[in-house]
A and B are shown apart, each in its own frame.
Chain A
Amino acid sequence: MSGKIFRSAVLLFAAHSAFASETERLELKDPYFGEALYYAHQGEYFDAISRLDTELKQYYGVDEPQLDSLYFHINEAEFSVGDFELSYRMHRRAGRAIQAVIEGNVAPAVRNEAIFRLARIYFQKEQNVNALHTIERIEGDIPPHLVTEVAFLKGQIYMVNGKFAEAENIFQSLEGAKSHEGFAVYNLGISRLAQEKEEAGVLSLAKAGQISSNDRAVLAIKDKANLTLGSRLLEKGELQAAKQYLERVRLDGPFSNRALLGLGWADVKTENYERALVPWTILAKRNVTDQSVQEAMLGVPYSYGKLGLYGKSALNYGRALDAIGTELDKLDTSINSIKDGKFLKALVREEIKQDRNWVIKLRELEDSPETYYLMSLMASHDFQSSLQNYFDLEQLRKRLESWDEYYHSFEDIIALRRQYYEPLLPSIDDQFRKLDSVIRLRLEQRDRLNTRLQSMLVSPRPDFLATAEERIAGEAITRLVKRIGKESLRANPDVAYRINRLNGYLHWNIHTEYDERFTQAFDNLYALDEDIARLKEIYASFVRTRQAATQSYQGYDEQIRRLRIKTRNAISKVETLMARQGHMLEVMAVNQLVQRRQRLESSQVKARFAMAESYDRATTSQAPAAETQAQDEKSPAAAVDENVPGANAPTLEDGTEETESQGQSEQ
C-alpha cells in the first residue's frame, strides 16, 4: 500500500514541478528557441518539438554553427527537446537524445544534468532499477538549480527500489527545502514507516499534515498525509487519534470522500452511530458515481438501523436503491453507448478540451452517458496512457490531413511563379550579360588605375598626371617642331626660343603641380571605390534576386512528391493505430463498467434485503413495550450482548455469529 501511496504522491509532485524549473530564468538569445518554449509552456508539445527539431537541423546544417543564434542555447535545446518528447510521451526517443548528451564531450555539470533527466525518464516509466543505476552515475558538479531536484529524485528512486534507509537520509536533509515543501516530509514519513520506525514515521506524516500553504499541490499532499495517517491508525484500532487526522483533511480536497467515509467508520467502531451519520450524510449527497459515496449511501441507513430508527433506515435504503437503480441504468446506457462507438466520439469533442478540467466536464456532457464513470477509469495508468495516445493520434490525423492539402497549395504557387518568371527571365538574363561585361571592364580599369598610382608612389611619373589640355598642347608643340624642321629652328632662334618657352611652361606646370595632382588622383580613386562598392551591392542584390526567382519555382517537385507520399503513408498508419487504440479503450471501458455494474447489482440485492429487514423491524418495534420486555426476559444472553460495547459492531472475524445473536435479541 505504501508503494501505491508513494507513487501517487510522486505523480502529484511531478505535476507540481514540471519542466518550468529548468527553462525559467533563461536569457533568450534565439527567438526561435523562445518560440519552442512558448508552445511548450502551453502544453503544445508537438509544435514545440517540431520547432526545435527544425532549428536543430538548421543549426547542424550550417558551416559555422558558432555564428547561429542557437549556438548560445544548444545544450538547453538538446535537453529541452528531450524534455518535450518526454512530455509528449515519446519516452524511447527522449531517452536516446539525452543519452547522446551524456556520452558527448561535455562539462560535468552538463553531463550530470543529462543523467538527472535520464534517471527521471526511467523513474517515470517505472523502470526502477535503470533509474537507480543512472542516478548513481552522478558525480562532481551539479548545476545549482538542480541540487535539491537531484537529491529529491534520488530519494524517490531509493524508495521505489526498497532502499528506505538511504531514502530516509536524503529526505531528512530536504526537510527544510521550500521547493519540496510537504513532499519531502511525506516521503520521509513513508520511508520510516517502511522500515518499521513507527513512531518517527507517524511524527513525520503528522508534520506533513500540518504544513500551511496556498499551493494546491502542497495542500493535496497535506491531505494525503492526514488520510494515510488516519487510515493507518484506524486499522490499528486507535480510533480517536485516527479521527483527529481524518478531520484535518479538507472537505473540498481530492481525498475528502475517503476521509469522510473513514470518519464515519471510526464512529461506527465505537458504536457512536449518531456521530457516524454526520460525515456519511454529507458524503451520501455527493456525486453518486464515486465508490465512497455509494458506500456511504448504504452506511447511512445502516447507522439509522443501529440507532433503532428502522423506519428512517428503510426509507434511506429505499433512496439508496433508487440511486443504485439509476446508476445501473446509466451503466447500461454507457456500455451500449460505448459499443456503438459514441465514447470515442465524445472524447475527441473539441469544445471539451478548451477547459483545463475537461475530464470532469466530460461527465456533464449531454447525450454522452458513456463518460459518467470516466473519472474512475482515468485512475488507471494504462487507461490514461491509452487515452492520451488516442488524443495524440487524433491530433496527428488532423495535422496530416491539413498538410496533405498544403501540397496542392504549394504546387499552385510554384506553377504561378513559373508562369510569371519563365517568359521574363531570358531577356533579363540577356541584358544582365551585357551589363555584366561592362561592369567587369570598368572594374578592370579601376584596378589598372590603382596599380599605376601605387607604382607612382615609388617612382613618380608627373607626365601621367598631365591634364588633357596639357597633353593636347604638348602634342601640338611636337607637331609644330616636326613641321618647321630642326634646320629651320636652328636658323630662326626666335621661333626656337618661343617653342622652348611653351615646352618649359608645360613642363613647369606638370612638375610643380604633381603632388597636388597625385593627392587628387587618390581622392578620385577613393570616390570611385565608393561607387564601385555600391555597384557591387546592386550586382549582388541582383544576383540574389535572380537566384531567388529561379529557386522560387525550381527544385521542389521531388521534395513535395516525397513529402506527399510520406504524409499519406502516415495518415494510413495513424488511422490503423487509432482504430486499434480506440478498440482497446472501448474494451477497457466496457470491462470497467461491467465490473462496476456487477458490484452495484450485488449491493442492490443486499440493500433490498436490508430494506426488507428494516421494514420488518419497524413493524416489530410498534408492538407493545410489554411484549418486547417479555421477549427480553426470555433471552438473557441477548440482553448481555446489548450491554457489551462493540458486541453489535460488524467485525471481520465473527460477523455471522454477531449478526445472528443481534437478530435473536431484536426478535
Chain B
Amino acid sequence: MMCFYCTIRTQRKVFIYMSRFFRGFSLLVLFAVTTISMGEEVSKEQIKGLDEQVQDIKKDVLGISAELNMLEEKLLYPSNTQISLFVAMSEKDKFRLDSVEIELDGKSVAHHIYSFKELEALQAGGMQRIYTGNVRTGEHQLKVGFIGKSIAGNEHRKFENYTFKKGAGPGLIEIRLAGPGVNTKSIQFKDW
C-alpha cells in the first residue's frame, strides 16, 4: 500500500512529483481504518505494565473506600439511630423530574435538583440515597414534595406526608415518585 505523502526524489521533475502525489492518493489508503502508529518511545509492554499497575491501585483505593464507608456508617450513623431515605421512580415513567424537597419532623433535610444523567439513572431502575441521618426510636413525620414536567410540558407539583416508626435497627424509607401519566399515587412510601 502506497502512502499518499510519498517521498520526493527531486524537485526538478514537477510532473513526476505530481504523479506520485496523486498515485499515493489511492483508494486503499483512503478507506483503510486510520490507526495511529505509536512512537518508538512507548512500547505495548510499557502500556500494558502501567495499565496493570493502575488496576492494582484502583483495587487498593476501592478497598479503602469500602472500609471508609463502613467506618463512616458506624461512626456517624450508628444503626440504632440511622435513617436513610431513597428516591425511586416508577418504571417507564417518562415525566421530567426537576427537583425533590424533603422535611423530616418539620426540618428541611434534603433538596435536590436533577440532572439528565441522574434522571435517566432513576428511570433505568436506580435508587438515589437522598438523605442519611440520625433520629430517635419512635414515630417521625416525613413531608416530601417534588416538581416536574409532564410529557405535554405541564408543570406537575405534588406533596405528601408520611408517618413512620423508627425501631432499633437502621430505618430505610423508599420514596417512589410518579408522573401524571402513571396510574399510581404520585408519591408512594415504603418502609423497608
**A-to-B contact residues, CB < 8 Å:** 1, 4-5, 8, 20, 23-26, 28, 31-32, 34-35, 37-43, 46, 49-51, 53-54, 57-58, 69, 88-93, 227, 231, 234-235, 258, 261-262, 265, 291-292, 295, 298-299, 302, 376-377, 379-380, 382-383, 385-386, 389, 392-393, 396, 399-400, 403, 406, 410, 413-414, 540-541, 544-545, 548, 551-552, 556, 559-560, 563, 566-567, 570, 573-574, 577, 580-581, 584, 587-588, 590-592, 594-595, 598-599, 602-603, 605-606, 609-610, 612-613, 650-652, 655-656, 658-660, 662-663
Contact = CB atoms under 8 A, between A and B. Distances in A.
Of listed A31, A51, A406, residue having the most chain B CB within 10 A: A31
Contacts of B2: 652
B106 to A, nearest CB: 24
11 contacts: A26-B125, A28-B88, A31-B174, A34-B127, A46-B58, A53-B66, A54-B69, A295-B4, A563-B67, A584-B50, A609-B11
A652 B50 contact: no
B107 interface: no
A466 B88 CA distance: 65
A93 B55 CA distance: 8
Given A38-B128, A292-B30, A650-B22, A577 B86 contact: no
Interface in B47-103: 47, 50-55, 57-72, 74-76, 78, 80-81, 84, 86, 88, 91
Contacts of A551: 74, 78
Contacts of B151: none
Given A392-B54, A609-B14, A595 B125 contact: no
B135 to A, nearest CB: 14
A284 to B, nearest CB: 14
A548 B169 CA distance: 13
Given A31-B86, A396-B58, A606-B18, 12 more contacts: A37-B127, A42-B121, A50-B69, A262-B27, A262-B30, A299-B25, A379-B34, A382-B44, A403-B64, A552-B78, A566-B60, A591-B42
A561 to B, nearest CB: 12
B50 A580 contact: yes
B75 A389 contact: no
A603 B22 CA distance: 11
A598 B34 CA distance: 17
A396 B127 contact: no
Which 10 residue pairs spanning A and B have beta carbons closest together? A591-B39, A38-B126, A34-B127, A659-B19, A231-B31, A41-B121, A650-B22, A380-B36, A655-B19, A602-B5
A390 to B, nearest CB: 9
B120 interface: yes
Contact of A37 (B51, B124, B168): B124
Of listed A24, A606, A609, residue having the most chain B CB within 10 A: A606
Contacts of B42: 382, 584, 587-588, 591
Nearest to A567: B64
B140 to A, nearest CB: 16
Contacts of B137: 541
Contacts of B88: 28, 34
A42 B119 CA distance: 9
Contacts of A591: 38-42
B183 to A, nearest CB: 18
Contacts of A379: 34-36
Contact of A35 (B60, B71, B128): B128
A556 B71 contact: yes
Nearest to A265: B27
B131 to A, nearest CB: 12
Contact of A389 (B54, B68, B126): B54
B112 interface: no
Contacts of B63: 53, 566
Contacts of A265: 27, 30
Given A93-B55, A403-B68, A376 B126 contact: no
A377 B38 CA distance: 10
Contacts of B36: 376-377, 379-380, 383, 592
B16 interface: yes
Contacts of A595: 37
B50 to A, nearest CB: 6
A609 B78 contact: no
A231 B50 CA distance: 38
A644 B26 CA distance: 22
Given A50-B66, A51-B69, A606-B8, A588 B38 contact: yes
Contacts of B34: 291, 376, 379
Nearest to A32: B129
A610 B172 contact: no
Nearest to B84: A31
Contact of B192 (A31, A37, A53, A302): A31
A262 B31 CA distance: 8
A110 B101 CA distance: 41
Of listed A91, A383, A389, residue having the most chain B CB within 10 A: A389
A376 B117 CA distance: 27
Given A410-B71, A603-B5, A5 B25 contact: no
Nearest to B46: A584
Given A292-B30, A544-B168, A566-B64, A577 B53 contact: yes
Contacts of A5: 33
A581 B66 contact: no
B15 A34 contact: no
Contacts of B122: 38
B64 A24 contact: no
A447 to B, nearest CB: 25
Of listed B11, B67, B120, residue having the most chain A CB within 10 A: B67
Contact of A560 (B16, B17, B25, B71): B71
